Structure 1
Amino acid sequence: MDRSDSVRSERDALVLTALESVQTFSDAMDRMYAEMRGDMDMNATDLAAIRMLVIRERHGEVVKPHDLATHLAISTASTTKLLDRLSAGGYLRRDPHPDDRRSRIIVLTDAARAEFFRHFGARLVAMRDALAPYDDGELRSIVRFLGDIENVMAGD
């Protein structure tokens, strides 16, 4: 075996280790969200909708029903049922779009936001603490890596 084969083998092993880490991370996220679903008495789609709204809200983005349907890969009818269920549960409101009064946007209620962070807040603090030792360059690499993996998984 020449040196290039050894380097390639080391690289392949490192790539495989990274991919295994992604799987392990994904499994841990699944377990965490399963626990949250149980604690919040929600199904997986309901919790995914709340998570999406929390993230989009933090970025200052408005969310229309179509955006939610696309993100969750569900039909218009399923989206309507989901929105009805979460509205009835006090998790969200359908408000007029700020720029187009004919359109509606989906907005989290204060109660939904508080309940989400009551269940997720401690974990969020622990995750922030886990990232504290990384310098800015390392964090940028992590963000780039996770974004690239997300795009591959989404088929982009």
Structure 2
Amino acid sequence: MERLARQVRELIVASDHYRQTMAAGLRIGVTESAVLGHLLHNGPQTPSTIAARIGLTAASTTALLDRLAASQLVRRTPNPHDRRSVLVELTDLGRAAIGEMYTMFAIDIDAALDRADPRLRQETELREAITDLLERMAAALRERSGDRRGIEDALAATADRGGSETDTVDAPDPAPRPEPPAKT
């Protein structure tokens, strides 16, 4: 079980680096990239929905959306259901950019599958079982991340005890972060 936890952690770390590199390729931040992905998968959204999704204040979200609009990746349109608000939607450029990022992601996942155990290609049930496991892991991580108070209490209790060898997991060092893109 510990090896599985370590490998999932490695997948998360690699995913973080992947997202940073992809976002840098568009000359935007990871949070901006996440907004583009959210809009791709969920359609036009209000700024307040976007703020709640990414965990930013209204002011920070407005600044983020201003940057994306200035880059011509999103646009604000009147909300047909509420005259007091707007919807944020992808522009054609934004849809093409985030679409290309997801295409590269799918290609990379498919390439990993090609290098994995051949049974994963041949046995649909095995592939479905692994997919189900990944879905359940994501749900468990989302559930835990939704319990901020519980996390704070548990970590405070660990700090109060002064930590000990039994409180830590021997985790590998994180990989170095990619260099930010050069400003032009």
TM-score range (shorter-chain normalised) is: 0.7 to 0.9
Greater share of residues in helix: 1
Q: Identity over aligned residues, as a percent?
A: 24
Q: Write the distance in 2 (CA, Å) between the matches of 1:43 and 1:138.
A: 31
For the aligned residues, what is the CA RMSD?
A: 2.3
Distance 1:85 1:49, change over 3 A: same
Task: Using structure 1 for the length normalisation, give the TM-score.
Answer: 0.76
- What SS class does the counterpart of residue 48 from structure 2 fall into? helix
**How far apart, in 1, do the equivalents of 2:47 and 2:3 lie?**
39
Q: In structure 1, what is the Cα distance between the partners aligned to 2:110 and 2:146? A: 25
Aligned to 1:39: 25
**CA-to-aligned-CA distance 1:111-136 (integer Å, 9 cap, x gap):** 11111222341221332563963443
1:24-67: CA deviations, max 9, x gaps? 0111111111211221111222112112222223xxxx421111
Task: Tell me, yes or no, if the aligned pair for 1:39 and 1:119 is still in contact at 8 Å.
Answer: no
Counterpart contact for 1:65–1:106, Cα < 8 Å: yes
Q: Distance in 2 between matches of 1:142 and 1:88?
A: 37
1:70-85 alignment, distance < 5 Å = 70-85=52-67
Q: TM-score, normalised by structure 2?
A: 0.65
Q: In the TM superposition, what is the alpha-carbon distance from 1:94 to its structure 2 partner?
A: 1.2
C-alpha separation between the residues in 2 aligned to 1:34 and 1:47? Answer: 9
- Conserved in 2, the CA contact under 8 Å of 1:92 and 1:106? yes
Matched residues in 2 for 1:149 and 1:75: separation?
A: 23
Q: Which 5+ residue runs of structure 1 have no aligned equivalent? A: 1-13
5+ long unaligned stretches in structure 2 = 115-119, 149-184
